[in-house]
Amino acid sequence: MSARRPVVGGNFKCNGDFAFIKTHTEVLKTIPKNNVEVYVAPSAIHLKTLADNLKGTHIEVAAQNVYYEKPGAWTGELNVEMLLDCGLKTVIIGHSERRRIMGETNEQSAKKAARAISLGMTVAFCIGETLEERNAGKVDEVNFAQLEALRAVLKEADWKNVIIAYEPVWSIGTGVVASPEQAQEVHASIRKWLGEKVSKAVADATRIQYGGSVNAANCAALGKCPDIDGFLVGGASLKPEFVQIVTTLG
């Protein structure tokens, strides 16, 4: 059993309306207070409502994205100050949908993370390879390049505000979950990379979540892997099943 506190995130993506946020609040409130840290990330428009609904509970509300610039003329963006003003402490950065669909580069993701961390936020930094990259034997190469961009803009002390979310792109929203062996292998490589490129202390302390088609049925086996410190959950976080996932890990 690792000393790292497990952490489970729920990424609602571009889903839900205010009626859903209201009913799902009641579901989230049933999550037992156990050893697991929990954050949920609704759309930007629902952030403040859900944060207010969950005030005083152990469930934290996180953003799905943020811009890397200070407040100013950046039409359509949200800055870190706005997230802090909503009472948020955590932000997901570099989700594969932002990287692959919105064209966010490794450097842009890293800049976003650095700015959020510089203002005291915790970042769930997503990395992961496509199926093509996996089949070409490039799993480490791709993940390490994404991590290297982050390493280049952080100081060692900043890593205490980083959660890494390993989310193989071929597994996100596909129903194809990585096997515990596949996930553990990559998590161990990421931890080894942290030890070599940052420090042993950071490697030991940094939590690495697995994300990709996690559900109540497959989470127990994944959760037993020594280098898996929790999950980032997409589809199942919109369902009562999310409560079971947290309970299973706790």
Beta carbon nearer to ligand PEP, 211 or 230: 211
Q: Which of 101-109, 183-191, 208-216, 242-250 is the region at the interface with ligand PEP (rule: CB under 6 A)?
A: 208-216
Q: Is 168 in the site for ligand PEP (CB under 6 A)?
A: no
Q: Is 127 helix (H, G, I), strand (E, B) or coil?
A: strand
Beta carbon nearer to ligand PEP, 41 or 117: 41
Please say whether the beta carbons of 158 and 202 come within 8 A.
Answer: no
Please say whether the beta carbons of 47 and 86 come within 8 A.
Answer: yes
Q: Is 10 in the site for ligand PEP (CB under 6 A)?
A: no
For residue 204, the minimal CB distance to ligand PEP (Å) is 25
Distance CA 143, CA 159 (A): 17
Q: Which of 223, 225, 231 is nearest to 248 (CA)?
A: 223
Give the CA angle between residues 68, 151, 179 to the nearest 5°: 100
How long is the chain? 250
Task: Kindly name the residue from 95, 97, 104, 129 that is annotated as catalytic.
Answer: 95
Q: Is 122 in the site for ligand PEP (CB under 6 A)?
A: no
Q: Is 125 helix (H, G, I), strand (E, B) or coil?
A: strand
Q: Is 173 in the site for ligand PEP (CB under 6 A)?
A: yes
Distance CA 216, CA 138 (A): 30
Residues 6+ apart with CB under 8 A from 47: 61, 63, 83, 86, 88
Q: Which of 46-54, 82-90, 198-206, 212-220 is the region at the interface with ligand PEP (rule: CB under 6 A)?
A: 212-220
Beta carbon nearer to ligand PEP, 108 or 213: 213
Tokens of 105: 């580069």
Q: Is 213 in the site for ligand PEP (CB under 6 A)?
A: yes
Specify whether 95 is catalytic. yes
Among 6, 10, 168, 212, binds ligand PEP (CB under 6 A): 212
Beta carbon nearer to ligand PEP, 109 or 203: 109
Specify whether 156 is catalytic. no
Distance CA 186, CA 80 (A): 31
Q: Is 167 in the site for ligand PEP (CB under 6 A)?
A: yes
Which residue ranges make up the site for ligand PEP (CB under 6 A)? 11, 13, 167, 172-173, 211-214, 232-236
